[in-house]
Amino acid sequence: MKKHNFSAGPSILPQFTIEKTAEGIKDFAGSGLSVMEVSHRGKDFVAVMDEAQALFRELLNIPEDYSVLFLGGGASLQFCMIPYNLMSKKAAYLNTGAWSAKAIKEAKFFGEVVEVASSKDTVYNYIPKDFEVPADADYFHFTSNNTIYGTQIRKDFDLDIPVVCDMSSDIFSRKIDVSKYGIIYGGAQKNLAPAGVAFVIIKNDLVGKVDRAIPTMLNYQTHIDGGSMFNTPPVVPIFAALQTLKWLKANGGIEAMEKINEEKAALLYDEIDRNPVFKGTVLNKEDRSLMNVCFIMNDGYEALEKEFLEFATGKGMSAIKGHRSVGGFRASIYNAMPKSSIQALIDCMQEFEKKHAK
């Protein structure tokens, strides 16, 4: 039976990435050795790093005065590195989900955190719109896509202080204006590569402004100076990331990806809105994520939740169970998710409706 992978992360990657990575694991650059077995300072791996950074720049149109880093520790280590390197006194955070909250928790180790707004009281089912960012904050942090709750902010904030964004779950899915940001970061394990590497796009002149001493590995300057090769980088995830970047470019880049993502999400949201058995969890349609589609059983059908999960799983839908804090279902439909898999889920929903609609 064909499996349709709706996992939130680690999640579906292009078949191209998986095949090319498997080839490189067996025989890297015709060397007869695995990419896992060769020096990261050898010319073949240096070429991988250079090309991955160059494609990042090309696909996202990253200005010259930014660096592209590939670091260990996941997005979670960035929750700490950002305030460590950028916060002198206080920073502003928008709290739109569990990952924002985790970033806030780490920032509090380094100074005052101003939570400009929060949707926590309603289990993060909307994006707060009315808030002010203090002009004297060292930076403003937000999470563009809330993987757990299925909400997304698809705009670039235009502020006079540096804007820092966790784009773990929507990088490369839509157009962004990098010049509006100080730092864009994320774990790679959704739209880019296997787990084990975080990407950091950082404006070079942001670092070196705080007075505190920063341990070498946690200092962005170390990694900017070392071209992301200060220590041994996660070579296999970076090699895999390069394959995804090549796939993105070959498939029309971000603009094409955004268009397809809009079409894919619309297909599924239209069905959720039409089908009487289900309903979406996000309060306002404009806040709905194009990457993680959250829905629950409609009123009167709550008792059928387990049955639908079993029914859909039996038809090859993998990992559609919602996060425990939201319940119901979550279909993660990242870049590599084909329309045909979304259609397969819709077919399941319609078949279930025929059986059960009152």
Which positions touch ligand PLP (CB under 6 A)?
A: 9, 74-76, 99, 143, 147, 166, 168-169, 187, 198
In the block, which residue shows the tokens 């007869």? Answer: 32
Please report how close the Cβ of residue 125 comes to ligand PLP at its closest, in angstroms.
16
Which residues are documented as binding site?
Answer: 41, 75-76, 99, 147, 166, 189, 231-232
CA distance 25 to 19: 10
170 part of the active site: no
**Which residues make up each annotated binding site for L-glutamate?**
41
Annotated catalytic residue within 99, 203, 264, 287: 99
**CA gap 236, 194 in Å, rounded:** 8
99 in catalytic set: yes
Q: Which strands, in side-by-side order, build the sheet including 66-71?
A: 66-71, 198-203, 183-187, 163-166, 140-143, 90-95, 112-118
Q: How far is the CB of 292 from ligand PLP (least distance, A)?
A: 9
Nearest distance, CB of residue 74 and ligand PLP, angstroms = 3
Question: CA 301 to CA 283: how far, in whole Å?
Answer: 19
Virtual CA dihedral for 198, 199, 202, 206, nearest 10 degrees?
Answer: 0
> Least separation, in Å, of the C-beta of 65 and ligand PLP?
26
Locus of tokens 């709550």: 302
Catalytic residue of the set 190, 203, 264, 287: 190
* Residue 73 DSSP one-character state: S
Reading the block at residue 202, the tokens are 């950082």
| Separation between Cα atoms, residue 158 and residue 149, nearest integer Å | 25
Q: Respond yes or no: is residue 166 known to be catalytic.
A: yes
| Residues involved in catalysis | 99, 166, 190
